[in-house]
Chain A
């Protein structure tokens, strides 16, 4: 079964500092990986996704993530944090049907706080 682990339920960074949110996955087949962001009192929206091809994926709002198969990781980064980045971030993996299911598995989330 596929799974996702997000290290750190809360992360604080100073405005202008590097943002690094960690995600490790477990999958017996090539994974489809996603990062979503949830602003307060809103639904989730896609930041970026990896399906196949280039392992460095660029998303919206200056975020990017690198798929590292050897480390089973898909960490999210942004070079310079902005106050508007304060939100909760979720890593997710989707089944591709190889195991007979098409589930989506989400991590437990990381709440990012940006300090002025």
Chain B
């Protein structure tokens, strides 16, 4: 089954304790991305990756890191989480077409993170 998986689905942590949220896709997609969803703000892109070892900032990258060492995986790292990073996080992937990201994205089920 074609899918994007995220782990963990729920996470409660404390301020400053490093954490990693994993994301994996089995569709051989080139493009992967992380979003955070907050009430009234919709989805905001944190980072995206066009392919292995190619990453770029989205609109809200502060406080986050990513890496793309393998095509299927795109982990999100919070090195020193703070309460304002409490949010619902989604990973997504899409196939890349010539000229840009015109393909639709496939979303994971989400990770609800609470930082106290």
A: which residues have CB within 8 A of B?
6, 9, 32, 34, 42-46, 49, 51, 90, 92, 94-98, 101-109
Q: Please, which residue of chain A has its CB at the minimum distance from the CB of B44?
A: A106
| 19 CB < 8 A contacts A-B | A6-B42, A32-B101, A43-B90, A43-B109, A43-B110, A45-B107, A46-B104, A49-B104, A51-B102, A90-B42, A90-B43, A92-B43, A96-B100, A96-B102, A102-B31, A103-B45, A104-B33, A104-B58, A108-B40
Contact with A along B77-112 (1 / 0, CB 8 A): 000000000000010100000011110110111100
B100 touches A108 (CB 8 A): no
Q: Tell me the minimal C-beta distance from B112 to chain A in angstroms.
A: 10
Option from B56, B58, B90 in Cβ contact (under 8 Å) with A44: B90
Q: Tell me the minimal C-beta distance from A3 to chain B in angstroms.
A: 10
B12 — which chain A residues lie within 8 A by C-beta?
none
A9 touches B40 (CB 8 A): yes
B53 at the interface (CB under 8 A from A): no
Q: Please, which residue of chain B has its CB at the minimum distance from the CB of A50?
A: B102
B: which residues have CB within 8 A of A?
4, 31, 33, 35, 40-45, 48, 50, 56, 58-59, 90, 92, 99-102, 104-105, 107-110
Shortest beta-carbon contacts, A-B, top 8: A96-B100, A43-B107, A108-B42, A106-B43, A46-B104, A32-B102, A97-B100, A51-B102
Q: Tell me the minimal C-beta distance from B64 to chain A in angstroms.
A: 15
How far apart are the CA atoms of A109 and B31 in the complex, in Å? 23
B35 — which chain A residues lie within 8 A by C-beta?
104, 106
